[in-house]
Structure 1
């Protein structure tokens, strides 16, 4: 019965726009044009691009080449953004903006692809391989895989999958048992992976040890350059690649959706860990990785024990988000001294270094000789596979902090999608329903190498454009 009433709703939306009185904005895109563009693009992406209901990062325009972290086979889809969950969330946004069940069905197929690759440990790794004998297959809950059982929080892998399933579960009013069950399994596993001090590991295969001591972060007393390296760093406390922000987003959304206090408790514990993990002055910021004694440690051979510019900004953003939910001022207390420190550490080019040497605060980089890496203070001729510097957004963080402090009930709002943002999106869709990108030496997710002038189709571009068009429909009514 749902489709009988909801499909005409999109038509009524068009008529409302077409019959609206002319105004100063009468040159703005009409709803009918936006709806038609969305459907054309989504139909192409769903019907032509999807494999087993899922997606990878990039495609050649003729779809003969597929790329995730490297070349993807015809049986592989990617979980890590901007892969399958990214596209699925765009379908959900389109469904909410139009009530067109085409998008709900497309999102459901995307969910089914993700659920196929859900691990026995409850989360996801970066790739799902539908070939039982494929090189990337893992230990799936459905029994059709084999191999590793490593649920990963690296690069928003498990987090993005959970957020997508939670939103789709809500769209179905929690009545789709398969989707609801997968979301609950993943959330239960995520809670079981939180340490007693509130931290999370990069990877888990089951519940973590809850008997570890809870203590404040400190600098190592040994020579961090030559000592203290830990092979299984992924089992320890991590903030790498925005983990705090992406996990907090999951917990906030789960609490808002299901009303389960466990998620709010876990969110507060994560905030408590960020307070503990703030390093002492004169470098009151955060490291990328910690051992169980709360000392910064090495991760990969090009990720040294150091104060981390990118992760520190993410920690501040996360604390702001946690305060916004809890209104507990203790989550704001670490922020002023962290911002002051980071402002004093801005590089001459206006960026932050990914790493600052402990104690000296000198920007720290890695250079490469063959397969070996060595520490350097020189930022010339750095390996191009890693982001050694990061853009800084300290003014934005300060403004958000001031707003929350000055207005106890204030929240961070979303921005309205304007006609000027929508017009180039409409104009750039080609006759087949594709948004084609041209490579110009930008750094892309994944390790494939495009040459300047190469054209490609991007899941990130598709998702951003569909979400922008959806937002325009919702905010322009």
Structure 2
């Protein structure tokens, strides 16, 4: 895609209905909530969100009611939209799924506009930054009207940023039957970049701007360092093998989805290769679980000043889920073998409260914490409030799921890969739809009392994309269920 190409604008497409499975239930509330009322509310909310809230088809996280204050994770000018959830891909996917349930053309239009926003914010490295700016085009190497070689060109996999964008683009590309050239080409470009960024051992970095040099990343098993610094060393960690914030879980999901939609074996191989990395990354006894990140020698290493080399009670639980998902897709039981020792270790590591520490000291397994001044400590009485150093344990539910998987047939596993969501007309759904309709204001906005943390403003009337997504989804579910009632 050339740099001289103009920024795309949304266009119309014929609506294509999708098939869902429903059942009905008698409910007095259904007499008060009609299909027509729900459709009108969706149309009104979508018109307002696309015409007043959106910037070039994209979205932030929160806005003041007058739209003067805007923010994603940080404050944002009117020219900026967010990619990191619950930003543009999250809203776009909500539009797309609502369209598939209802066939309303305006929803497909809105989904396409969100997709075009992502196309116009894609970096030459293949993915996305946390946000896209439609005025400051020269500070980033956007593929469409971007800056030169010295401009920023770093794809981020942190916080499901690029993964959420690719997931949405794959789905809308499929809905459009791969006929929209710009969307299809951007999706293929992103997927190819993710394949190139994968390390020889199957891991991925937190961020990248080019493919790794295989010579610098030997394929070896995880091991304990002889020693590690107790104070934050301020070293760069963005190229470390990263499990933090479910990064690899999100990437595995994207690769399996890509394989499902495009039937290209490269994506399946990438997902399985990630599973092989997870097996390599399991720490030896006495702590057979996982770290948040590893250096090139496969040793746990520092990331941010509150993320020390350690075995993590948090991401380890997500990794167990990922291994089960890889098994569901592949049927290969080697991906289940790491799970029993990891579950036993995590169960033994639970705190007296039944919860888990986020970090456990290497080898000793003592819980690690930080003071508010970011001093490493064994005490949990002076914790910073922005980060979860003590987390819930899901060990029992993970073990139950693991045991069920052992008994599932190949046919049952196949049915679990991409299951059809069943939407039923229940009293609860009807009540939620009624509430969504009644809470929509005269402009077409859902207003919520809340804070704009990045702006330092509290107790405002706000427009929250998460509220919009939830209410739009509820109304679409209601309409779809009523159609089958």
Same fold (TM > 0.5): yes
1:83-102 matches, cutoff 5 A: 83-102=87-106
Change in 2 beyond 3 A, CA 1:422/1:337: farther
Equivalence for 1:430: 440
1:11-160 matches, cutoff 5 A: 24-25=26-27, 27-28=29-30, 29-132=33-136, 137-145=139-147, 147-160=151-164
Equivalence for 2:394: 393
Check whether the contact 2:137–2:145 (CA below 8 A) recurs between aligned residues.
no
Change in 2 beyond 3 A, CA 1:273/1:468: farther
Q: Give the Cα separation in 1 of the matches to 2:475 and 2:392.
A: 27
Change in 2 beyond 3 A, CA 1:438/1:377: farther
CA-CA distance at 1:397 after TM superposition: 2.0
Equivalence for 1:249: 253
Out of 186-195 and 94-103, give the one that drifted further: 94-103
1:371-386 matches, cutoff 5 A: 373-386=374-387
Change in 2 beyond 3 A, CA 1:99/1:450: same
What do the CA deviations read for 1:365-411 (whole angstroms, capped 9, x no partner)? Answer: 12233xxx210222223222222233332333223222221112334
CA-CA distance at 1:321 after TM superposition: 0.9
Out of 137-146 and 205-214, give the one that drifted further: 137-146
Q: Give the Cα separation in 2 of the matches to 1:471 and 1:267.
A: 31
Check whether the contact 1:69–1:448 (CA below 8 A) recurs between aligned residues.
no
Gaps of 5+ in 2: 1-10
Change in 2 beyond 3 A, CA 1:186/1:74: same
TM-score (norm 2): 0.87
Equivalence for 1:439: 450
Change in 2 beyond 3 A, CA 1:359/1:422: farther
Change in 2 beyond 3 A, CA 1:473/1:189: same
Change in 2 beyond 3 A, CA 1:6/1:167: closer
Check whether the contact 1:404–1:410 (CA below 8 A) recurs between aligned residues.
no
Change in 2 beyond 3 A, CA 1:344/1:438: farther
The structure with higher relative contact order (CA 8 Å, sep 6+) is 2
Query: 2:314 aligns to what SS in structure 1?
Result: helix
Change in 2 beyond 3 A, CA 1:399/1:438: farther
Q: Give the Cα separation in 2 of the matches to 1:4 and 1:336.
A: 50
Q: Give the Cα separation in 1 of the matches to 2:391 and 2:45.
A: 33
Out of 459, 464, 471, the residue aligned to residue 458 of structure 1 is 464
Out of 250-259 and 375-384, give the one that drifted further: 375-384
Q: Give the Cα separation in 2 of the matches to 1:4 and 1:222.
A: 60
Check whether the contact 1:419–1:472 (CA below 8 A) recurs between aligned residues.
no
CA-CA distance at 1:475 after TM superposition: 5.2
Change in 2 beyond 3 A, CA 1:315/1:422: farther
Q: Give the Cα separation in 1 of the matches to 2:234 and 2:256.
A: 32
Q: Give the Cα separation in 2 of the matches to 1:386 and 1:167.
A: 33
Change in 2 beyond 3 A, CA 1:133/1:187: closer
User: Quick check: 1:264 aligned with 2:264?
Assistant: no
Equivalence for 2:277: 273
Equivalence for 2:303: 299
Check whether the contact 1:37–1:426 (CA below 8 A) recurs between aligned residues.
no
Equivalence for 2:223: 218
Q: Give the Cα separation in 2 of the matches to 1:448 and 1:384.
A: 18
What do the CA deviations read for 1:69-99 (whole angstroms, capped 9, x no partner)? Answer: 2210111111000101000000100110111
Q: Give the Cα separation in 1 of the matches to 2:313 and 2:25.
A: 48
Count, aligned residues? 456
Check whether the contact 1:242–1:311 (CA below 8 A) recurs between aligned residues.
yes
Query: 1:27 aligns to what SS in structure 2?
Result: helix
What do the CA deviations read for 1:417-436 (whole angstroms, capped 9, x no partner)? Answer: 64404523531432232222
Check whether the contact 2:137–2:146 (CA below 8 A) recurs between aligned residues.
no
CA-CA distance at 1:289 after TM superposition: 0.5
Out of 136, 146, 170, the residue aligned to residue 166 of structure 1 is 170
What do the CA deviations read for 1:165-188 (whole angstroms, capped 9, x no partner)? Answer: 111101110000000000000000
Q: Give the Cα separation in 2 of the matches to 1:405 and 1:469.
A: 38
Check whether the contact 2:13–2:109 (CA below 8 A) recurs between aligned residues.
no
Query: 2:43 aligns to what SS in structure 1?
Result: helix
Equivalence for 2:198: 194
Aligned-residue CA RMSD (Å): 2.7
